[in-house]
């Protein structure tokens, strides 16, 4: 759901009616965090270090809200899923639905959708007819596909894997589906991971319990994310997305040892954003 400037202005007005929820003495927290960002160690090993000059700045937020957007168009791609559904027959299913929105609003772009259903069953008696290609609907503006994971490819992690297949394939395919309709002078937001971390982990591990390394859909997903980044780099379009890594736990542990863990806001820990902007480098 796209928020236009007029909507953001009203949200800002409503937020001003809520009293502040911090004490002024907490302002030193920013200074403490800033020092940790220069170099953070855990058990004598550096786990976070600045690769460039760190700096802090201050702006008037009311002026920022009135400032002109440096990009004429901003796109955001997001998906929603049913989350893995489990049946007594041993069937695991997840549906993921992906769309793209733009600011200013572009209803033609928003109407285009990609739906992926991922399914797995440990039983050979469950019939799952995977689609060989994409089935179109809504006058060709929507695409849908059913992908399956073979019984011998999973002995555990079935809910996680069907979710990963559905989400990563839907999001990556929809971005590639819409890439030629994205204006060159724009900013692109992937409201999701910039690479399929969870799937990559199991493909690299390639253990006896999860064997998806040779799965064609898994390999297609990896190639999709490479193609996405290659496209935006070639078009010199800035793109941002999430990077969720296990290192965040170590960052939290190390920062807690340096001082009171409560001085490190949780918003800095759960996820980081990866930014690829050719204009900067």
Grade residue 57 by pLDDT with cuts at 50, 70 and 90.
Answer: confident
CA–centroid distance for 244 within its chain:
9
Residue 183 falls within a domain, yes or no? yes
Residues 55 and 110 in one domain: no
Are 185 and 110 in the same domain? yes
Task: Find the mean pLDDT for residues 1-22.
Answer: 70
Q: What are the distances in angstroms from CA 178 to CA 75, 77, 113, 114?
A: 11, 10, 10, 10
**pLDDT on residue 245:** 65
DSSP code string of 161-173: HHHHHHHHHHHHH
Looking at the fold, whether 105 and 202 belong to one and the same domain comes out as: yes
Mean pLDDT of 121-141: 86
CB within 8 A of 145, min separation 6: which ones?
115, 116, 117, 131, 133, 134, 135, 169, 173
Rounded Cα gap, residues 145 and 148, in angstroms: 10
Same domain for 84 and 192, yes or no, is yes
Cα gap 176→39, rounded to integer Å: 38
CB 274 within 8 A of CB 243: yes
Q: Is the pLDDT of residue 133 over 50?
A: yes
Does residue 9 lie in a domain region?
A: no
pLDDT of 158 above 80: yes
In a domain, 10, yes or no: no
Q: What is the pTM of this model?
A: 0.72
Which helix (H) or strand (E) covers residue 149, if one does?
strand 142-149
Q: Which residues contact 147 (CB under 8 A, 6 or more apart)?
A: 116, 117, 118, 119, 130, 131, 165, 166, 169, 217
Together in a domain, 121 and 209: yes
Mean pLDDT calculated for residue range 9-30: 66
Tell me, yes or no, whether 172 and 254 share the same domain: no
Residue 14 lies in a domain: no
Is residue 281 over pLDDT 80?
Answer: no
Do 218 and 122 fall into the same domain?
yes
Shared domain check, 77 and 64: no
Top mean-pLDDT range of 75-89, 191-205, 214-228, 231-245: 214-228
Tell me, yes or no, whether 48 lies in a domain. yes
Is there a domain that residue 17 lies in? no
Place of tokens 């800035």: 238
215 shares its domain with 249:
no
What is the dihedral angle through the alpha carbons of 180, 185, 187, 188, rounded to the nearest 10 degrees?
10
User: 253 and 119 in one domain?
Assistant: no
Q: Does 18 fall in a domain? A: no
Q: Is the dihedral of CA 206, 209, 210, 212 positive or negative?
A: positive
Residues 111 and 199 in one domain: yes
Per the structure, the count of domains in the chain is 2
**Is the same domain home to 83 and 222?**
yes
> Of 99, 94, 103, 96, whose CA–CA distance to 78 is shortest?
99
pLDDT in tens, 62-113: 888 788 888 999 999 999 898 899 888 889 999 999 999 999 999 999 999 9
Tell me which residue range forms the domain holding 198: 73-243
Cβ atoms of 242 and 271 closer than 8 Å:
yes
CA angle centred on 166, ends 165 and 171, rounded to 5°: 105
């Amino acid at each position: 759901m796209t928020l236009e400037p007029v909507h953001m202005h009203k949200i800002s007005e409503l937020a001003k009616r809520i009293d502040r929820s911090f004490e002024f003495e907490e302002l030193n927290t920013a200074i403490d965090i800033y020092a940790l960002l220069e170099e953070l160690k855990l058990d004598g090993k550096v786990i976070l270090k600045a690769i460039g000059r760190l700096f802090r700045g201050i702006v008037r937020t009311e002026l920022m809200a009135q400032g002109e957007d440096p990009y004429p168009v901003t796109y955001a791609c997001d998906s929603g899923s049913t989350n893995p559904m489990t049946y007594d027959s041993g069937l695991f299913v997840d549906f993921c639905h992906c769309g793209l929105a733009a600011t200013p609003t572009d209803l033609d772009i928003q109407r285009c959708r990609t739906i992926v259903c991922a399914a797995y069953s440990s039983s050979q008696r469950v019939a799952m007819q995977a689609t060989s290609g994409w089935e179109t609907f809504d006058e060709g503006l929507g695409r849908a596909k059913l992908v399956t994971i073979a019984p011998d490819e999973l002995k555990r992690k079935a809910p996680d894997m069907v979710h990963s297949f559905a989400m990563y394939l839907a999001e990556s395919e929809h971005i590639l589906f819409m890439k030629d309709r994205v204006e060159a002078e724009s900013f692109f937001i992937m409201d999701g991971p910039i690479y399929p971390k969870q799937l990559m982990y199991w493909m690299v591990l390639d253990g006896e319990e999860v064997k998806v390394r040779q799965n064609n859909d898994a390999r297609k997903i990896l190639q999709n994310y490479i193609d996405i980044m290659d496209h935006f780099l070639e078009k010199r379009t800035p793109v941002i997305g999430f990077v969720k890594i296990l290192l965040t736990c170590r960052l939290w542990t190390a920062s807690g040892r340096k001082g009171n863990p409560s001085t490190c806001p949780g918003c800095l820990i759960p996820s980081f954003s990866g930014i690829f902007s050719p204009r900067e480098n």
